Amino acid sequence: MTYTSFLVNIEDNIASVAINRPEKANSLHMEAWEEMKHIFESLHENPEVRVIVLTGEGKNFCAGIDLMTLMNLQRYNDISCEGRKREMLRKFIFKLQDCITAIEKCRKPVLAAIHGACVGGAVDIVSACDMRYCVEKSYFSIKEIDLGLVADIGTLQRLPKILQPGIVAEMAYTGRNVSGEEATKIGLTNQTYATVEEMTEGVMGIAKSIASKSPLCIRGTKEILLYSRDHSVDESLNYMTAWNASMLLSDDLQEAFAAMMEKREGDFAG
């Protein structure tokens, strides 16, 4: 899978996706946002892939949206009709939101391994991932407030489902940097590692563990977790019965029991 702004490699059922614009601190221009959407939609459909690890090349994970992309919004001022101007701007925001939502809609678990800067739009991206891991020297910032913007492509919608509301509010109002160590303390990341090498080894170990499980059950677990996040307990329990009534009696169930009885790893189809 060849892309301009990303490196994608698939090995042992694990897709490694790396943002590859290190000369721009891995900030994303419009073409990169569109590539990211295509990548996660493709990995969603790829039967070889059971789990995804998202990283960044160079010194930083991601510096968010490329500032030139924001500056290019000035072109909407050439539209004389205010209604049409606002309609085009709303369409642009929807487009960016969809690029990030593609990560969440991908039914393969996505693990973000974060080093260096994770600011602005990058926080939107990692908020849509299933798990986040970082190094001590990494830092997180909802930077939009310092640019005269309200974060508009997912952070303010997803982070309150991950962190305590007061912590999200403080980050959003101040734009301050949250260190890697603090990120794990407040629950933004699962674990903080001393070095990138240790993080890579640790995250790949977790990814390998996930890849060894029933792919059908992993996809179902992500489906149910996200549904439960957005619905009541009663609604979620009802949805759960429909899911298991449809998926429970599978080849994966038989293989999982056989593997347990024979004290071996399961051998599951894609």
The CA distance from 76 to 223, in Å, is 38
What pLDDT, on a 0 to 100 scale, did the predictor assign at position 80?
86
Q: In what order do the strands lie in the sheet with 117-119?
A: 117-119, 139-141, 178-179
Q: How does pLDDT run across 197-234, given as a tens digit for each residue?
A: 999 999 999 999 999 999 988 999 999 999 999 999 99
pLDDT value for 132: 98
Q: Give the per-residue pLDDT at 31.
A: 94
Hey, CA dihedral for 74, 75, 79, 83, is it positive or negative? negative
Architecture of domain 215-261 in this structure: Orthogonal Bundle (1.10)
According to the model, what pLDDT value does residue 127 have? Answer: 97
Reply yes or no on domain 6-211 having CATH 3.40.50.720.
no
**Is the separation of the CB atoms in 235 and 165 below 8 Å?**
no
pTM of the model: 0.92
* Domain spans of the chain, in order of start: 6-211, 215-261
pLDDT value of position 123: 97
Active site residues: 65, 121, 124, 144, 152
Q: How confident is the model at residue 148, as a pLDDT?
A: 87
Q: What is the DSSP annotation of 155-213? A: HHHHGGGTS-HHHHHHHHHH---EEHHHHHHHTSSSEEESSHHHHHHHHHHHHHHHHTS
Under a CB-based contact definition with an 8 Å cutoff, are residues 155 and 125 in contact? no
Residue segments in the chain with a per-residue pLDDT below the cut of 70:
none
- Given this model, what pLDDT does residue 88 score? 87
Report the pLDDT value the prediction gives residue 247, as an integer from 0 to 100.
76
- Per residue in 72-93, pLDDT (tens digit) is 777 877 888 989 888 888 898 9
Alpha carbon 3 to chain centroid, angstroms:
18
